[in-house]
Amino acid sequence: MMSVRAMKAALKQQAIHFFVDPQWVIPSIIAPFIFTTVTLFLFRHTGGDLMLYAVLGGGVLGMWGNTIHSSSWSIGYDRMNGTLEAIMVTPAPLSSVVFGRCLWNAFLGLLNALAVFLVAKFAFGIDVTVRDPLGFLVALAATLLSLAVLGMVFGAFYVVTRASSALFQMLEYPIYVLSGAMFPLVVLPEWSRPFSYALPATWGAEALKIASLPGYDPLGLGYMGALGLTALTTLVFLLVSLWLFSFLEGRAKVNGTLVRY
Amino acid sequence: MMRNVTGIKASALVAMRSQFAVVGPVLWLIQIFSTALFQMWFFVLVSDFAGDPAAGPAYVALGNAVSSLTYAAVYGVTMAAGSEKHIGTMASILGTPTRMYYVFLGKGAYQSVIGLFTVTVSLLLSSWLFGVDLSGADPLTLATVLVVTCFAMVGFGMVIGSVGVYLRSSMVLGSIVLYLGLLLCGVNFPIAYLPGWLQPASYAFPLTYGVEAVRRVAMGAGLADVSHLLIVMLAMGAAFYVLAYLLFEVFERLALRRGSLDMF
């Protein structure tokens, strides 16, 4: 179902693309960077843990922004360059190729977290010490993985449509809102909370905050609870994405729209 | 002169047709609505949680509604040159009798229409969903402010977009300008919050004056009360269009000399 070799190759290829022309990371991370900086300005009078809260949320937004942006463009470019068909006739499953790319893109989103960290530290003078560094790193890895899987779910749709740029713009901000990365989930209206609970990014952000902020656990989940929910929702999304890839790949082949640009 | 006017019209028509070539009208409308809605919602929730009385949810929603103009009026115009380069049609444009500046002016004219539509939708959403009170606003004054803001912002976009004739792509520059307004132009918090050294940069963006003018109109100000802001935007806009004309000439020549017109 998934090919580790294809994932590694796709990750490597995506990394090479980045190093050939690193400027392309700017359009992917500028939105989450500005959103986080604006949030820091709005939180500036609150001080303390709330500022760190925004920094952590900014990291999640950055990973998501880069995943959705770069992943949509990477399939879009394959379509434009006429290489999408060539990828699909290789023995490697397309889902593995896309997952490898998404993983690199989510990882690169950490550049945004670094930029936010520097702004927070030097422009706002925020103490960015985390309570449990090991727990933080594990939660960060889990969040990165969960966002890559989420990117893969949406990536499946780019196989059947030329309108990947429009889709990416529609999907970027809803996750910013629904993940509750920048504010507690209780701030969201009740009707929207089930959508938040279904997202792995929500639980990843929660685990990151529990590992970093002393006394933070508004939902009473504990660190392991938040991490477990991240893993569970990630697994569900992974299964959904594999099914979607299989279904939509078949549909694109029947429609003969793979090289339509 | 007549040739330039025809060029502008033709370019605007091509921009309109190509808009729906890939993304259909329904998907495009959903994109406009959802982007405006979720961006506003995000900052409204952040401001609600932050509890800063000087930058409350209604303040933030109104600022974001006005800044939605940036997407078409600045980013759309900035991206025009980059997109032509991307699809390999830049040399064909140069081969027409119309100067490149007028071709992109036509695209800017089309983006103005889209921008004004977007900002209208955003203002309605901000009023319906986020408690922005527009009951005191005179519709004619509000429309005038938005048209003048759009005029200045398209000029600003033309200046930035001209660089795309020479550079490999204008996307990077366009992306930066698209979001910088949220930070610098009094959209989400008063400009006074910015560090002193950064505040002068705010006044280089026409959006700053546009947001301020709309805030005043929403509070009941008439055309005379915001006339100084309109004059500044008109002057800035005129200066931007002249500068863009000169820059298109310069970058066109440089790109021809360097052979980078189709480089992407």
- For the stretch B133-157, pLDDT in tens is 999 999 999 999 999 999 999 999 9
Report how far residue B231's alpha carbon sits from residue B239's, in angstroms, rounded to the nearest whole number: 12
| Residues B158 and B81 sit within 8 Å (Cβ to Cβ) | no
Question: Which of B31, B55, B175 comes nearest A30 by C-beta?
Answer: B175
Please compute the mean of the pLDDT values over residues A65-82 and round it to a whole number: 77
Higher local confidence (pLDDT), A71 or B201: B201
pTM for the full predicted model: 0.88
Give the model confidence (pLDDT) of B110-139 as tens digits. 999 999 999 999 999 999 999 899 999 999
Matching residue, tokens 């609970």: A197
Residue A1: pLDDT band (50, 70, 90) is: low
Give the model confidence (pLDDT) of A235-249 as tens digits. 999 999 989 888 888
Question: How far does the CA of residue B223 sit from the closest CA of chain A (Å)?
Answer: 31
Report how far residue B16's alpha carbon sits from residue B101's, in angstroms, rounded to the nearest whole number: 18
Question: Which of B35, B41, B175 comes nearest A169 by C-beta?
Answer: B35
SS3 A50: helix
Answer yes or no: is pLDDT of A233 > 70. Answer: yes
SS3 B180: helix
Question: How far does the CA of residue A198 sit from the closest CA of chain B (Å)?
Answer: 18
Question: Which of A38, A46, A165 comes nearest B183 by C-beta?
Answer: A38
Residue B258: pLDDT band (50, 70, 90) is: confident
For the ranges A163-167, A171-175, A204-208, the one whose mean pLDDT is highest: A204-208
Report how far residue A227's alpha carbon sits from residue A249's, in angstroms, rounded to the nearest whole number: 32
pLDDT of residue A261: 62
Answer yes or no: is pLDDT of A65 > 90. Answer: no
For the ranges A94-98, B74-78, B229-233, the one whose mean pLDDT is highest: B229-233
Residue B24: pLDDT band (50, 70, 90) is: confident
pLDDT of residue B117: 94
What does the CA dihedral A74, A75, A76, A80 come to, rounded to 10 degrees? 100
Record the tokens describing residue B87, joined without a space: 């699809």
Q: How far separated are the first and last CA of chain A, in Å rounded?
A: 28
Report how far residue A238's alpha carbon sits from residue B191's, in angstroms, rounded to the nearest whole number: 44
Chain B residues near residue A176 by CB distance under 8 angstroms: 38, 42
pLDDT of residue B219: 94
Question: Cβ contacts of residue B228 below 8 Å, gap of 6+?
Answer: none
pLDDT of residue B157: 92
pLDDT of residue A222: 93
Distances (CA, A) of A99 to A160, A204, A241: 17, 18, 10
Task: Please state, as a whole number, how many other Cβ atoms lie within 10 Å of the Cβ of residue B91.
Answer: 13
Question: How far does the CA of residue A74 sit from the closest CA of chain B (Å)?
Answer: 15
Report how far residue A146's alpha carbon sits from residue A24's, in angstroms, rounded to the nearest whole number: 23
Q: B interface toward A at CB cutoff 8 Å?
A: 22-24, 27-28, 30-31, 34-35, 38-39, 41-43, 45-52, 55, 171-172, 174-176, 178-180, 182-183, 188-189, 193-195
| Residues B71 and B227 sit within 8 Å (Cβ to Cβ) | no
Burial label for B88, CB within 10 Å (0-12, 13-18, 19+), is exposed
Partner-chain contact B49 A184, CB within 8 Å: yes
| Residues B80 and B70 sit within 8 Å (Cβ to Cβ) | no
Compute the C-alpha angle A147/A151/A157, nearest 5°.
160
Question: Which of B30, B49, B179 comes nearest A170 by C-beta?
Answer: B30
pLDDT of residue B69: 92
pLDDT of residue A12: 92
pLDDT of residue B263: 66
The proportion of chain B whose per-residue pLDDT surpasses 70, expressed as a percent, equals 98
Question: How far does the CA of residue A171 sit from the closest CA of chain B (Å)?
Answer: 9
Q: Which residue of B18, B20, B22 is the best one to mutate when testing the A interface, meaning the one whose CB has the most A CBs within 10 A? A: B22
Give the model confidence (pLDDT) of B188-231 as tens digits. 999 999 999 999 999 999 999 999 999 999 999 999 999 999 99
Please compute the mean of the pLDDT values over residues A70-90 and round it to a whole number: 80
Burial per residue of B100-133, b for 16 or more beta-carbon CB atoms within 10 angstroms, e otherwise: bbbbbbbbbbbbbebbbebbbbbbebbbeebebe
pLDDT of residue B228: 96
The proportion of chain A whose per-residue pLDDT surpasses 70, expressed as a percent, equals 97
Report how far residue A146's alpha carbon sits from residue A148's, in angstroms, rounded to the nearest whole number: 5
> For chain B, which residues make up each domain, given as ranges?
2-258
SS3 B97: coil
Report how far residue A236's alpha carbon sits from residue A247's, in angstroms, rounded to the nearest whole number: 17
Partner-chain contact A173 B35, CB within 8 Å: yes
Answer yes or no: is pLDDT of A257 > 80. Answer: no
pLDDT of residue B122: 94
Question: Which of B48, B50, B174 comes nearest A46 by C-beta?
Answer: B50
Task: Please state, as a whole number, how many other Cβ atoms lie within 10 Å of the Cβ of residue B256.
Answer: 14
Please compute the mean of the pLDDT values over residues B34-49 and round it to a whole number: 91
Question: How far does the CA of residue A211 sit from the closest CA of chain B (Å)?
Answer: 21
Q: Helices in chain B by DSSP H: which ranges?
A: 2-22, 25-50, 57-67, 69-70, 77-86, 90-94, 100-129, 139-166, 171-184, 199-202, 206-218, 227-258
Q: Which of A79, A60, A63, A73 is nearest to A258 (CA)?
A: A79
Q: Which of A154, A252, A43 is nearest to B188 (CA)?
A: A43
Report how far residue A147's alpha carbon sits from residue A68's, in angstroms, rounded to the nearest whole number: 9
Answer yes or no: is pLDDT of A260 > 70. Answer: no
Record the tokens describing residue A33, joined without a space: 């960077």
